[in-house]
A and B are shown apart, each in its own frame.
Chain A
Amino acid sequence: MIFLSTWFLLLFAPCFLGLYWLPWGHGVRKWLLLGGNLVFHAHFAGPAGVAPIALLGGLTFALALSRRPGWCRTGIAINVAALVFYKYVRFFCEELLGSLHSSWGETVLKTTQTWFPGDPPLAISFFTFEFIHYLVEVGRGAQPIRSPLDFALFATFWPALVAGPVKRYGQFLPALELGTRQVGACDVAAGLARFAIGIVKKAVIADNLAAWVQFMDQRLEAYPLWERWLVFLGIGWRIFMDFSGYSDLAIGLARMLGVTLPENFCRPYLAWSLDEFWRRWHVSLTGWIRDYVYIPLGGSRLGLGRRIVNGWIAFALCGLWHGAAWNFVLWGLYHGAGLGLTSALRCLLDRVGWRRKAHAIWWRPLGWATTMFFVGVGWLLFFYPLPQAWRMLCLLFVNGEAV
């Protein structure tokens, strides 16, 4: 919990914000912000964590300046390779090569371990996603960032460094410009209030729910059905409070700097269909996956079958983005399948002419309940190995111990 660590709360944040709020010109504020970004990143990632990101950032900036699609594609490939190398090599070696032949995985892993660090650099997923977005947009003809300072600020803006939101440079740079020019007491007050909400969500609600769920899930069969359902709900609320709490902290801190970051969670548990849920949940990540994976694969333009396959690929990647483990991949595939099913159902309703009826207000509670149950089962896959997730799911319906 970087934003709730003592170093951050009692040393970095007061010193940095105190300096930033002094009546500087916006140029000085930008340099101050860059200094803050470097201190923040170096403190939590260490020099070994900063170096690869600096290298990757420098490369991305230089390649984008050329404005040639070929160079941009090279940059994208390098970023993808870096992400795979740092975050997924171990997983691929252990799980994929290891499942083919036990010694292969070990051999490759031992070889690679000698020249790459055990832990990936801090926030490598966020960095690479933002760099890829930038290179794609420039490759498509958008203006690149000319100022190295602006690019460095976009890449390393510390409030969004740990847990997003995944920024878009077209939105971020004007917001940064505005913030460094006219940060005021209004921003500080609104940011503080948002930060406080984030602390309550993360430290009070999510962490306590996590401890409670962890305690309950080990002996779920010992509890009555209603308590098992409570645990099921608790898992969903825990992850929502955790993720959205962290987003609130990031958005609040950015707001204290005068910078408005995009919202990341828009009441996702009020969604009455799965695709609506994904328009509300982790909006910046979902938007990125949609724009840079799903649509380039063909999106929904190539017929229902292709649409379903594209959705599966996009969501498998989305799952893998959350962590290098099979349960995340399964969770992604599960949601991909759910969205495919939703699309197919929508097609069917269109054909029989019931689409308008399905939109009727009285269908919505059913849609909402189905969506929430589907999402809740997804969280079981997200948090637990498949056999345990299945056991927990069965325990929601069977009032007994023998599952």
Chain B
Amino acid sequence: MNHLELEANRMSRPWLRPGAFCAGVAGSFILCCVVGQRAPEWFPFRDFVRFHDFIEPESQYLPTALQLRALVRQHVPRDKIAVVIGGDSILQGIGQPVEQLWSRRLQELLGSDYRVLNLAIRGGAPNEYGQVAAEMLYHEGRRVLYLCDAWIHTYAAAPDGTRPAYRYIFHDARARGLLLDHPERDAALTALEPRRRAEEAFAERAFRSRANAWLAFDDLWHVVGYEAGMTVWTPRTSKHPWQPRRLWREVPLHTAAYRAGITAYRDIVRSHCQPKSADYWHGFEETVRHATPLPLRPRMLVVVPRCNPAVLDQLSAEDPQAREKYGRELQTTLRHLRACGLNAVDGCATCSAEDYLDGNHLLPSGGEKLAEQLAPLVRSLAQGLFGDITP
């Protein structure tokens, strides 16, 4: 009897009932898919104020489109006007503790007819988490306003976001049919495809999004990671890597590191003072149009936040015209955003150097000023769009 016959003989006396085992695997798989589709609604994020280290991609936690939808549904009752905040760390409120977050102040100023939800994220672009959530709400027929920030000269690198690590949320929501129809965006993405096909990670991500729409494995895994325990070690969670993410709280910011960055920020502001060509602005407008569905544009309020005046003071020492040039480029950016049908506003215009943590992030005092500047604008936008705002 050779080793293969021995093997075959051994197989005839299995250590488990193979039929039952295979049926169990298939049944469990189907059950997981079904549970995955519903789990984000059953277990939404708790006590959500804003994204933080432990529920964002930097710690290998990638909130899914269904989790985002569950969050906005839970946060915004049907009779309220949703004010979704997107964009980067400036609107996320880096530099402000949760208790003194600017979006909380905005909520207070707007009153109970509105629900403010801060979905801005570090290094984010206007067309990532916040816009995805705003599109979902609009798609559901909710009254929604979308508030985000964009830097001078820049909006988004691609119609599906700027940072590759954040683009998944767009594709996840798109694969589930949760986004608004926007043929211009679809065409721009199709045009990008040949270039991206070479990127293995992108192809994998795109396929994964489509598969997840059917099988909901990412949704299930992230809900389990949030509620029961994670399977991924990351430096940020190194003390308790397997602990469920719901138990993690925001860590107070290491402000010294941010303050040290103010000098480096001078180079960025210097580049903001340089005028751009007509071709550049044509491309800029095209990007904005590709990234933003038509119905959302009038509901958007894009803040172009001013940098710390102290940085401009430093720059003025080397170029006395720096302040004027900066103001001119900021106004040009606003003009081009408005030309695309978006509402755009010069942000933090009343902030002083004491209101900034570093080159551009606001301290609680700056956040309060921003909220006070934006609240009347949001209210008037809502009046214009929805008329009588009381249900």
List residues of chain A with CB under 8 Å of any chain B CB: 5-7, 10-11, 174-175, 178, 182, 184-190, 192-193, 203-204, 207-209, 211-212, 215, 260
Contacts and interface: CB of A to CB of B under 8 A. Distances in A.
Interface of B: 2, 4, 7-8, 11-12, 14, 16-19, 21-22, 25, 204, 207-208, 211, 215, 231-235, 238, 241
Given A178-B8, A208-B241, A189 B14 contact: yes
Given A185-B22, A212-B233, A10 B8 contact: no
Nearest to A203: B231
A190 B14 contact: yes
A215 B204 contact: no
B284 to A, nearest CB: 35
Given A6-B208, A7-B207, 20 more contacts: A6-B211, A10-B211, A10-B215, A175-B4, A178-B4, A186-B11, A187-B11, A188-B18, A189-B16, A189-B21, A189-B22, A190-B18, A192-B22, A193-B16, A203-B231, A208-B233, A208-B241, A211-B234, A215-B235, A260-B4
- By DSSP majority rule, is chain B's interface helix, strand, loop, or mixed? helix
Contact of A192 (B4, B19, B21): B21
A175 B16 CA distance: 22
B215 A184 contact: no
B176 to A, nearest CB: 16
A221 B136 CA distance: 50
A185 B20 CA distance: 9
Contact of B238 (A6, A185, A190, A215): A215
Contacts of B7: 260
Contact of A174 (B4, B19, B241): B4
Given A5-B204, A208-B241, A186 B12 contact: yes
A182 B8 contact: yes
Contact of B18 (A5, A175, A186, A203): A186
A363 B2 CA distance: 37
Nearest to B234: A211
A250 to B, nearest CB: 17
Contacts of A186: 11-12, 14, 18
Contacts of A215: 235, 238
Given A211-B234, A212-B233, A189 B207 contact: no
Contacts of A7: 204, 207
Nearest to B8: A178
Contacts of B19: 185
A260 B120 CA distance: 52
16 contacts: A6-B207, A174-B2, A174-B4, A175-B4, A178-B8, A185-B18, A189-B22, A190-B14, A192-B22, A207-B232, A211-B232, A211-B233, A211-B235, A215-B235, A260-B4, A260-B7
A189 B18 contact: yes
Contacts of B235: 211, 215
A190 B11 contact: yes
Nearest 3 Cβ contacts at the A-B interface: A185-B18, A189-B18, A208-B233
A36 B211 CA distance: 21
Q: Which of B8, B234, B238 has the most CB of A within 10 A?
A: B8
A363 B35 CA distance: 55
B22 A188 contact: yes
Contacts of A208: 231-233, 241
A50 to B, nearest CB: 17
Contact of A6 (B16, B21, B204, B232): B204
Given A174-B4, A178-B4, A215-B235, A184 B21 contact: no
A204 B231 contact: yes
A189 B18 CA distance: 5
Q: Which of B22, B211, B235, B238 has the most CB of A within 10 A?
A: B22
Nearest to B214: A10
A192 B14 contact: no
A297 to B, nearest CB: 30
A193 B18 CA distance: 10
B204 A184 contact: no
Contact of B25 (A10, A174, A192, A212): A192
Contacts of A209: 233
Nearest to A185: B18
A7 B201 CA distance: 12
Contacts of B232: 207-208, 211
A212 B17 CA distance: 39
A188 B25 CA distance: 11
Nearest to A6: B208
Contacts of B11: 184, 186-187, 190
